[in-house]
Amino acid sequence: MNVLVLLASIIALNTANTTMAFQADPGAELKIVYYGAKLPDLTKGALDNYSAQRAYPCYGVIATEEAAFAAIHPDGNRTVQLWVEDTSLQAWEGGQVLCVNCKDNYYPLRVKIYYKTFRDQDMIETWIETVNEGKKPVTLTRFDSGHLPIRYDDVWISTLYGTWANEARVNSEPLTRGWKMIRNIDGARNSQTSHAEVMISLDGKPREDAGRIIGAALCWGGNYELRFQTNDSDYHHFFAGIYPEHDNVVLAKGKSFATPHLALTFSDSGLSGASRNFHRWGRKYMLRHGDVERRILLNSWEGVYFKINEAGMFQMMDDIAGMGGELFVMDDGWFGDKYPRNNDHTSLGDWVVDTRKLPGGVGSLVKAATEKGIKFGIWVEPEMTNTVSELYEAHPDWIVKSENREIVQGRGGTQVVLNLAKKEVQDFAFSVIDNLMKENPDIAYIKWDANCKLAMDCSNIAYWEGFAALCDRVREAYPDLTIQDCASGGGRANWGVLPWFDEFWVSDNTDALQRIYIQWGTSYFFPAIAMAAHISATPNHTVRRTTSLKYRIDVAMSGRLGMEIQPKDMTEEEKDICRKAISDYKRIRPIVQFGDIHRLVSPYDEKGYASMMYTSEKLDKAVVYWWRTHNFYDDHFPRLRLSGLDPDRKYKVTELNRLDLKPLAYEGKSFSGRFLMESGLEIPATNNVKASLRSDWSSRVLLLEAE
């Protein structure tokens, strides 16, 4: 039994390594008394030591306290006072669900506060459900998914910020007096400029392998707000929920509203420990097909952009098949009749094959891929249209727009968003996928893009409810399809979206150096199996940087490896290098895609290099990445001390993607896990390669195998 009932009113929820405890006295507010490392011997005496905090503060009765919830009753009263009526605890296969059933002590408003434990992953999801039990409508003006009081100390938070082509940059800062707000109102791409996740370090500046960390992820694809209040009390208060200012929820008689889930984890093994919890939970319960290895693919975008044609697609398929790849994805540019999609100004919504470019249609491409022994995938953007399109001409009323205002147009000067709150628009968006799949049942992969913000007034909640209905329908019809979530790059890296998707495109920026920073931040919350990372050309198309092919490979190999390049512009030697890399990646794929992350040296510490590794679940294998992040003559780097290994086992070291003329001194040799973690490995600062491959970038990938 996983629950410890200490008093009638005190409930402790336990996961394998954590405890969250509540005081739930009927006729009083729900209080939270503890969240942290497991306290199996939590006793009433110990609880006397805590000043229990309001678990889910509502506005009104103590009007000076920041609230997680606020409502306006039919008579205009704006106060809410929730009292516990009863609690129930139910087991599910992965843990338990606690429901604290609360009711306003005057008005007919019920709020159920849920906590769901994921025993083996040390996660607890919380959310609320509100029911209007009265006769007249109630307006909810704030409806956070959760609130967590954190005892005052040297508490730091690490959040992710960025923009297009620079997503998921890490920012760590102490929580000082006042407010820290992370808010995203893009509407459609809520992880492009900020992320709905945060790491909270309870022991000062966060470290990767030590220190107590609380991680939080709001599982919601729409607008959100994460807020930290540090005031004159003994607590930092953390709130997270849907951004309410554009979207009051009006609950009619008998109607209910459930918030998205806020996933919380606790680890005393630093940031990497919290990340491992997110990854395990994500792979098992959130990400689509989280236990299935991902295919190695070539995507056409950076290779040909809009210049799609049949011969070109056949050639790219031949090339990726020849390098050992498993999937070819035709990106944007394949559709449009009246308005051919030759650039981003037109055609979204007109999902008919442009037979001028592809005379044999999608069918001949799927057939060719099958003949070449690979799978075929295709790009779509089902939620969008351009004002220059046949779809828009036929259905100008299908787009999101504010009445009596000019339409705000996005990408290409003409892109607009279809209003998924409308059933007929959901039907249309479903037909985009459904028609493709019905005509070509062997399509194995869809890249689902979204390149426009919701720039005009609309209910963001209604949009995302429409999105959920659409995705449910797609998944019901096509449960096995691999679907990539892309939104101008990493604009939809969020646990509210990923349950329908297999992976996401981390960033349109494929520059290896900048990707180290972007992928580092992304890995705080998302596992490598979900992070699409592609080898691209140099100079890089976004930042114009020239890096060595090995460096680009060594970075892409730390995620879900793919290629995004025109192979016909590569030399035979470069293709050979990629062929070898793909074969090496197949060896390490289960370690990367199902393993545990240990981030070793952060690029954000600007030490001139960065390093991370994955260990297999059984600790019999590991793969280590080391990338130089700047190049100054006379740089000296310390030995690389590894992490997460079994100290008592011996591991043989093999360098992958080796181009160096001489093997590393320890190539093929074995060392104990203890030695590797305490003493560490010498990593030469440069790659000693033949003259034609020399570059100012150096990197290593090492495979460790237990004997």
- The residue ranges that bind ligand GLA (CB under 6 A) are 301, 331-332, 344, 379, 449, 451, 486, 488-489, 505, 508
Phi, psi of 368 (to 5 degrees): -60, -45
DSSP letters for 125-157: EEEEEEEE-SSS-EEEEEEEEEEEEEESSS-EE
Residue 494 DSSP one-character state: -
Q: Tell me if 8 sits within 8 A of 29, measured CB to CB.
A: no
CB of 300 to ligand GLA, least distance (A): 9
Least separation in angstroms between CB 442 and ligand GLA: 22
Pick between residue 125 and residue 449 the one whose CB is nearest to ligand GLA: 449
Q: Which is nearer to ligand GLA, 377 or 567 (CB)?
A: 377
Which residue's CB is nearer to ligand GLA, number 81 or number 309?
Answer: 309
Nearer to ligand GLA among residue 301 and residue 520 (C-beta) = 301
Q: How far is the CB of 486 from ligand GLA (least distance, A)?
A: 5
Smallest gap, in angstroms, from Cβ of residue 586 to ligand GLA?
A: 24
Distances (CA, A) of 647 to 247, 620, 643, 671: 54, 11, 10, 10
Spell 558-585 as b/e; 16+ CB within 10 A means b.
bbbbbbbbbbeebeeebeebbebbbebb
Cβ proximity of 188 and 383 under 8 Å? yes
Give the residue with the Cβ less far from ligand GLA, 241 or 333.
333
Closest to ligand GLA by CB, 486 vs 563, is 486
Report CA 3 to chain centroid distance, whole Å. Answer: 31
**Cβ–Cβ < 8 Å for 161, 281:** no
Output the smallest distance, CB 318 to ligand GLA, in A.
22
- CA–CA gap between residue 525 and residue 320 (Å, rounded): 31
Residue 225 or 344: which CB sits closer to ligand GLA?
Answer: 344
CB of residue 514 vs ligand GLA: minimum separation in angstroms? 15
Q: How far is the CB of 453 from ligand GLA (least distance, A)?
A: 13
What is the edge-to-edge ordering of all strands in the sheet holding 31-37? 3-7, 10-14, 18-23, 31-37, 53-54
Please name the residues in contact with 208: beta carbons below 8 A apart, sequence gap of 6 or more: 270, 271, 272, 598, 599, 600, 602, 643
* Whether the Cβ atoms of residue 292 and residue 324 lie closer than 8 Å to each other: no
Closest CB to ligand GLA among residues 270, 521: 521
CB 309 within 8 A of CB 342: no
Closest CB to ligand GLA belongs to which residue?
A: 332
Nearer to ligand GLA, 332 or 502 (CB): 332
From the CB of 120, what's the least distance to ligand GLA, in Å?
35
Let me know: does 470 contact 144? Beta carbons within 8 Å. Answer: no
State the Cα–Cα distance between residues 368 and 378, nearest whole angstrom. 14
Q: How near is the Cβ of 437 to ligand GLA at its closest, in Å?
A: 19
CA distances from 594 to 74, 622, 671 (A): 52, 11, 24
